[in-house]
Chains A and B, each alone.
Chain A
Amino acid sequence: MTLRGKTDALFKLGLIALAIVYFSIFLSSNASAAQITSRSLTLEQGAGGDGGSKPGGTVKHKFDFTIPSNTTLGSIKFQYCTTASGTCSPVSGLTTTGSVTLSNQSGLTGFSLDNTTNGSPFIHRTAAAPGGANTAVSYELSGVVNPSTTNQTFYVRITTYSSEDVTTGATDTGTVAASTATQITLTGTMPESLIFCTGGAISLTSGIPDCSTATSGSITFNQLFSPADTAVAKSQMAASTNADFGYSITYTGATLTSGSNTVTAMTSATTSVRGTRQFGMNLTLNDGTAYTNAPNVTGSANIAPTSNGTNYRGQALTGYDTAGTFKFNAAGDSIANSANGGAGPTDVQLYTASYIANVSGGQPIGTYTTTLTYICTATF
């Protein structure tokens, strides 16, 4: 074999050797650096209320992904860059140091955060352990300051390492992207207000008294007046306020009148007695029960929703709040307020007023009417 021949042979051997080495490296690379799957980065609202994608906002960055390899896992690096690949340029305004913490972890746990390098925090555990093939994990970093530019897209390159300090043994990689965004700020004002409505009936909508369903305030007794039976009628009202000291409801009006004739007002809270002359009202607890001395008085429901002393404070007042007793004061009277549990704001509640009319046999004929004016006022 000539020298040249030997050289050629050596060169060919060299090529084969190089090829073998290269092939070996290539195979090795394919086997260890798998792609992290099902990966995402969610920008969540921070503890101070900043929206997750607010430029410069102090927020939470939540990483979710699946680790494919069942190899030793000691640390995971989150490298923030302006591009998905190639040289990593830092993201302007981003801060991952200082008060940034690992506020949540699941899937593979036991990690601590190292935030000493801005833009490249990593989590690690004291003793590396197998990752577990196709394990879904989640890690949340709190206190991250977002990039300062609006609509700034940034990328986080996630890399797992077998070492506990992200220096050696890079295993799996994957990149996630996110962006800051223009904030949409919604502002609404709740004024101090008072709501009051009356009508023959007020319905509940989704369990809430609905003033828009109030029917006409012109109501008629259920039957002709008779000494043999009690005539009854009902009306309803609803009120609410957010005023500091709540509301008070009063009424004014005359007793039932026809020309110069009247039905005697029940000036104190008393029961209904057929065959006597009585006009009175009751505001609550006539829940359908017929009373011994007034079998037709099946009256009203209780205040609804029921008062609880907190957000429902409505209550009927003495003289009008006892089932089966009725009262009417032509000079006017307070009949309800929002002081159940102490005077204060209250959500809307429904009151039902029951009216009764009893007459004696000598009650002059006529159409008896009255106009009652209910006044709902904020208290002071």
Chain B
Amino acid sequence: MHKFKYSKYIQILMSVTASMMVVAPSIALAATPPPTKAAAPPPNPTYGQALEIAPPVIYLTVNPGETKKTQIFLRDISSGDLIVTGEANDFTAAGDDGTPKILLGDEAANNPYSMKKWVVAPASLNLVPREMKTMAITINVPATASPGGHYGIIRFTATPPSLKK
């Protein structure tokens, strides 16, 4: 009787996420004055969100029950401080051109190639301009993981500290 283990091929894409707030001029504020006791909102930062990540694609071969560690280099390329957080998601192909479609919410529920839950939520990092730090990524492959390819994406969001308060 032969005993063998399945090897799994997993692919992790990295992405940089940045948000834009588009707002209309304050026509409504003139008609509806804000409450007088409301706390003043934090000032908007004067700089944008800019991040460099390396590598943007990771391929790993893992075995059921194995814990795999890897790392991502993150550099703040903006002109101000940034807090970087990472969030794992699954993805599938958006077409046949290699564009990933990130699976959010219910879309990921029955995804046979899912690995989102295998990824330990990465700790956030504080970066100053030009600083590069390493973010550790830990992947716990379940002993019951199905063989074949699994695909995940880790989205890194860089936020100025003033918008985190």
Contact = CB atoms under 8 A, between A and B. Distances in A.
B55 A192 contact: yes
B55 A235 contact: no
B138 interface: no
B94 interface: yes
A193 B20 contact: no
Contacts of A343: 97-98
A377 B100 contact: yes
Nearest to A376: B16
A334 interface: yes
A379 B97 contact: yes
A215 interface: yes
Contacts of B36: none
B25 to A, nearest CB: 5
A224 B21 contact: no
B23 A379 contact: no
Interface string B1-36: 000000000010111111111111111110100000
Number of contact residues on B: which range applies?
35 or more
Given A218-B21, A380-B57, A375 B15 contact: yes
A241 B56 contact: yes
Contacts of B79: 212-214
Contact of B54 (A194, A198, A202, A355): A194
Nearest to A355: B22
A346 to B, nearest CB: 13
A220 interface: yes
A369 B22 CA distance: 6
A248 B97 CA distance: 10
A162 to B, nearest CB: 66
Contacts of A198: 18-20, 48-50
A368 B56 contact: no
B106 to A, nearest CB: 13
B99 A337 contact: yes
B47 A216 contact: yes
A192 B56 contact: yes
A374 B18 contact: yes
A248 to B, nearest CB: 4
A212 B24 contact: no
Which residue of A212, A244, A365 has the most chain B CB atoms within 10 A of its CB atom?
Answer: A212
Given A193-B56, A194-B54, A196-B16, A372 B22 contact: yes
A192 B44 contact: no
A379 B100 contact: yes
A91 B53 CA distance: 52
| Contact residues on A (Cβ < 8 Å of other chain), bracket | 35 or more
Q: Say what secondary structure dominates the interface of chain A.
A: strand
B65 interface: no
A151 B52 CA distance: 43
A241 to B, nearest CB: 6
A378 B15 contact: yes
Contact of A218 (B28, B44, B100, B153): B44
A278 B80 CA distance: 35
B56 A243 contact: yes
Residue of A196, A334, A376 with most partner-chain B CB within 10 A:
A196
Interface in A216-242: 216-221, 223-225, 231, 233, 235, 237, 241
Given A196-B16, A218-B44, A378 B24 contact: no
Contacts of A158: none
B133 to A, nearest CB: 14
B22 to A, nearest CB: 5
A373 B21 CA distance: 9
A256 B24 contact: yes
Nearest to B19: A373
A187 B11 CA distance: 29
A367 interface: yes
A199 interface: yes
A243 B55 CA distance: 8
Contact of A196 (B21, B25, B51, B73): B51
A291 interface: no
B129 interface: yes
Contacts of B21: 217-219, 369-372
Interface in A163-196: 191-196
B45 interface: yes
Given A195-B77, A375-B102, A212 B17 contact: no
Contacts of B47: 199, 214-216
Given A223-B25, A366-B28, 19 more contacts: A192-B54, A192-B55, A192-B56, A198-B48, A211-B50, A212-B79, A218-B20, A243-B55, A250-B102, A334-B99, A368-B23, A372-B20, A375-B15, A375-B16, A375-B17, A375-B155, A376-B15, A376-B17, A380-B11
18 contacts: A191-B54, A193-B56, A195-B77, A198-B48, A212-B77, A217-B21, A237-B18, A241-B56, A248-B94, A248-B100, A367-B28, A369-B21, A370-B22, A377-B100, A378-B14, A379-B99, A379-B100, A380-B57
